Amino acid sequence: PTDGLEMVQNQFAKSPEELMISGEEQKKILKIIETLDANYQAIIQLRFFEEKSIKEISEELQISVSNTKIRIMRAKKLLAKLLQNEDFSDL
């Protein structure tokens, strides 16, 4: 009965090459984030790396909840645009 489970688990396991590619992509993404305005860097750091709530972010940055939501949306749009322009084909 566990053979089926092991087969499914193996399909989701990443090879060392896949992990290395993920690491390289992560480095590129972090470099792109570093090029953003400091306000957007902070928002991305708090929301996506530290996984803080919108309320926590607004309190920490001393801005309104609505302004926090707007900054998150703008940061995501800008980051997505920059990532689309980045060439990941060499990985």
On whether residue 90 sits in a domain, the answer given is no
On whether residue 59 sits in a domain, the answer given is yes
Overall domain count for the chain: 1
What is the domain extent for residue 74? Answer: 2-85
On whether residue 7 sits in a domain, the answer given is yes
Number of Cβ atoms within 10 Å of the Cβ of 63: 15
pLDDT tens, 19-68?
Answer: 566 777 888 888 899 999 999 999 999 998 899 999 999 999 999 999 99
Q: Tokens for 58, please give them.
A: 């607004």
pLDDT tens, 3-28?
Answer: 555 544 555 566 666 656 677 788 88
On whether residue 78 sits in a domain, the answer given is yes
Domain of residue 57, CATH code: 1.10.10.10
On whether residue 47 sits in a domain, the answer given is yes
On whether residue 29 sits in a domain, the answer given is yes
Is pLDDT above 70 for 82?
yes
What separation, in Å, do the N-terminal and C-terminal C-alpha atoms of the chain show?
38
pTM of the model: 0.67
